[in-house]
Amino acid sequence: MDKQIQIIIIAALLVLSCGLASAHRIHVSTQIGEISVKSWIGGGSPVKEGDVKVYMITEGVEELYLEGTTDLNGEFGFPPKIGVKEYRIVVEPTDLPGHKAETILNMTQLQSCESGEGMPTYLGVISGLGYLAGLAGLSSMWIYRKKQKK
Amino acid sequence: MVHISDGILSAEVLAAGWVITAAVLASTIQRIEAENIPKLSLITAAFFVASLIHIPLGPTSVHLILNGLVGITLGVLSFTSIFIGIVLQAFLLGHGGITTIGVNTMNMGLPALAAYGIFRLKNKKKIELSGGLAAGSAVILTVLLTALTIFTTGKEFTGVVIALTAAHVPIILVETIVTGSITGFLMKVKPELLNTT
C-alpha cells in the first residue's frame, strides 16, 4: 500500500508540476497599429481640420488609398495596408489657401519622416544673411569693374 | 501665408509668374548702382527675416511681409530685393515653393512697386501717414494678387479672398503702424534711406 501511495503521490506531483510549468508559458501576439501623421504650420500651430490624402505606392504606381481630415491637434491616423511599403501623404490646410505639404513614408525604414524642415531655422537665417553679404560683395565688384571699363 | 507652395498652381500660371518676374527684373536690375548695394542688402535681409515673425491668429498664424517697407526704401529696386528674399526664403526656410518663386515674387514685388508709387505722392507734413498707407496698401494688394492666383486653381474667388483677408487684417494693421513709425523716424534721422526720388 505504501508503494501504491508513493506512486500515486509522485504521479500527482508530476501532473501538478506540468500544470505549474504551463502557467509560465510566454505568449506572443502581434498587432499592426495605425500610422500617425502630424502636421503643423511654420511657427508651430497645428493644421486643424486640414484635408489629408494618402496615396499608396506599389511598384512605382500611385493610387489614392484614403482621405480624411486632421484633428484639432493637427493629427491624423490611418491603418496600413498589408503589402504596401510606401505611401505619399498630402496635407492641405483648409483655412490657408495656397499651402500644401507632402511627405513620402517608406515602411521599410522604421523611422519617422518629416518634410519642409531641411535645416534648423537659425541655420537658415545665418546662411541667408551670409548669402546676402556674399551677393552684395559680388555685385559691388561687378559694378566697379563695369565702371572701370568705361 | 502669401507664399504659395509647390504643387498648387498649373504649369501655365507658374510660367506666367516666371515671365512677369523675369521681365520686371530685367527692366529694374540695371538701375542698381554701387552705392545702393549696402541699402539693398540691409533691406533684403530685413524682408528675408520678417517672414519668421509669426502672429498667432485663432487656429493658424500669419507672418510679417514688409514688402511695403521694401518699396518705400528701395523704390524700383524693391522688386530685385523681393526676388532675392523669396529665393532665400524658399531654399533656406521652406517658405513657399521652388517652382512658385516667380509667382510669389510677382505677388509681393508688384505691390512693393505700388507702395513706392503711393509713397511718392506723400504728404510731407504727415510722412508717417504716407508710409503707413503705402505699407497697408502693399499688403492688401499682395493678398488680392495671391487670391487671384489661387483662383486659377478652381477655388471660389470670394471665399479665398475672405479667408486670406481675414487672416491678414492683423498684418495690415501691424505693417501700417510699424512702417508708418519707421518712415517718420527715418525722415528725421536719415532721410536718404527713404526713396523719395
Instruction: Give residue-wise pLDDT tens across range B37-77.
Output: 989 999 999 999 988 887 766 656 678 899 999 999 999 99
List CB contacts (< 8 A) between B52 and chain A: 121, 125
- Is pLDDT larger for residue A27 or for residue A115? A27
- Predicted pLDDT at B72: 93
Residue B110 binned pLDDT confidence (cut-offs 50, 70, 90): very high
Q: Tell whether A95 lies on the interface with B, counting CB pairs under 8 A.
A: yes
Q: Which of A135, A142, A146 to mutate to test the interface with B (most CBs of B within 10 A)?
A: A135
**DSSP SS3 for A143:** helix
- Is pLDDT larger for residue B99 or for residue A43? B99
Q: Which domains does chain A have, with CATH numbers?
A: 35-115 (2.60.40.1120)
Q: How far is CA A74 from CA A91, B27, B70, B98, in A?
A: 10, 44, 35, 25
Q: Is the pLDDT of residue B117 over 60?
A: yes
Q: Do B150 and A98 touch (CB under 8 A)?
A: yes
Q: Is the pLDDT of residue B108 over 90?
A: yes
The DSSP bridge pattern shows strands B60-63 and B54-57 to be: antiparallel
Backbone angles phi, psi at A82, to 5 degrees: -60, 130
Q: What is the DSSP letter of A10?
A: H
CATH number of the CATH domain containing B37: 1.10.1760.20
Q: Is the pLDDT of residue A110 over 70?
A: no
By the 8 A CB rule, do B149 and B4 touch?
Answer: yes
Chain B residue with minimum CA distance to A143? B34
Backbone angles phi, psi at A86, to 5 degrees: -135, 140
List CB contacts (< 8 A) between A42 and chain B: 54, 61, 63, 93-95
List CB contacts (< 8 A) between B5 and chain A: 98-101
Q: Is the pLDDT of residue A51 over 70?
A: yes
For residues A60 and A80, give the distance between their C-alpha atoms in angstroms, rounded to a whole number. 18
- Predicted pLDDT at B15: 96
The ipTM assigned to this model is 0.75
Q: Is the pLDDT of residue B107 over 70?
A: yes
Residue B107: inside a domain: yes
Mean pLDDT, range B73-90, rounded to an integer:
94
Residue B77: inside a domain: yes
Residue B3: inside a domain: no
Q: Do B92 and A119 touch (CB under 8 A)?
A: yes
- Predicted pLDDT at B169: 87
Which residue of B2, B52, B56 is in closest CB contact with A121?
Answer: B52
List CB contacts (< 8 A) between A135 and chain B: 41, 84
- Predicted pLDDT at B166: 81
Q: Do A132 and B84 touch (CB under 8 A)?
A: yes
Backbone angles phi, psi at B82, to 5 degrees: -70, -35
Residue B181: inside a domain: yes
Q: Is the pLDDT of residue B175 over 80?
A: yes
Note down the domain range covering B17: 11-193
Q: What is the DSSP letter of B14?
A: H
Residue B18 binned pLDDT confidence (cut-offs 50, 70, 90): very high
Backbone angles phi, psi at B121, to 5 degrees: -85, 25
3-state helix, strand, coil split of chain A in percent (to 5) is 35, 25, 40
Residue B6: inside a domain: no
Q: Tell whether A99 lies on the interface with B, counting CB pairs under 8 A.
A: yes
List CB contacts (< 8 A) between A140 and chain B: 34, 37
Residue B126: inside a domain: yes
Residue B196 binned pLDDT confidence (cut-offs 50, 70, 90): low
Q: How far is B120 from chain A (nearest CA, A)?
A: 27
- Is pLDDT larger for residue B27 or for residue B197? B27
Cell numbers of B149, please?
492666383
Which residue of B2, B92, B149 is in closest CB contact with A124?
Answer: B92
Chain B residue with minimum CA distance to A141? B34
- Is pLDDT larger for residue A65 or for residue A112? A65
**DSSP SS3 for A17:** helix
Q: Is the pLDDT of residue A106 over 60?
A: yes
Residue B1: inside a domain: no
Q: Which of B5, B8, B53 to mutate to test the interface with A (most CBs of A within 10 A)?
A: B5
Q: How far is B180 from chain A (nearest CA, A)?
A: 26
By the 8 A CB rule, do B97 and A128 touch?
Answer: no
- Name which of A11-20, B51-60, B169-178, B188-197 the model is least confident about: A11-20
Number of compact structural domains in chain B: 1
Residue B49: inside a domain: yes
Residue A123 binned pLDDT confidence (cut-offs 50, 70, 90): confident
- Predicted pLDDT at A139: 86
Buried b (16+ CB within 10 A) or exposed e, A1-35: eeeeeeeeeeeeeeeeeeeeeeeeeeeeeeeeeee
Q: Do B94 and A140 touch (CB under 8 A)?
A: no
